[in-house]
Amino acid sequence: MGTHLTIGYLQSKMIRMPLNLNYDWNTAINNCENTQSVIDYIVSNGTTDENWRVLHTIKTINDINRTNTKQD
């Protein structure tokens, strides 16, 4: 059985650095319960780059999960 990437992977890709200067943002991202809530938060509060990054990350998750499903 393959490993499926989940919300935790998406959250980790949306964390801002340095951590101590982005506490509120990172807390909000980590409190998101699903992919749609991460997207909604970034659309409302993120930069253009973060909007593109979240879409790219979701595509990557879907591609990897699809590949892992075929191998199962």
Tens-place pLDDT, residues 40-68? 999 999 999 999 999 999 998 888 888 87
Which amino acid is present at 1?
Answer: M
pTM: 0.81
How far is Cα 49 from Cα 6, in angstroms, rounded to an integer? 21
**Of the candidates 48, 63, 70, 57, the residue with the CA atom closest to the CA atom of residue 1:** 70
Contact, 1 vs 72, CB < 8 A? yes
Which amino acid is present at 6?
Answer: T
How far is Cα 25 from Cα 72, in angstroms, rounded to an integer? 37
**Percent of residues, the chain, with pLDDT higher than 70:** 92
- pLDDT value at position 3? 55
Q: Which is more confidently placed, 65 or 69?
A: 65
| Averaged confidence pLDDT in the chain | 90
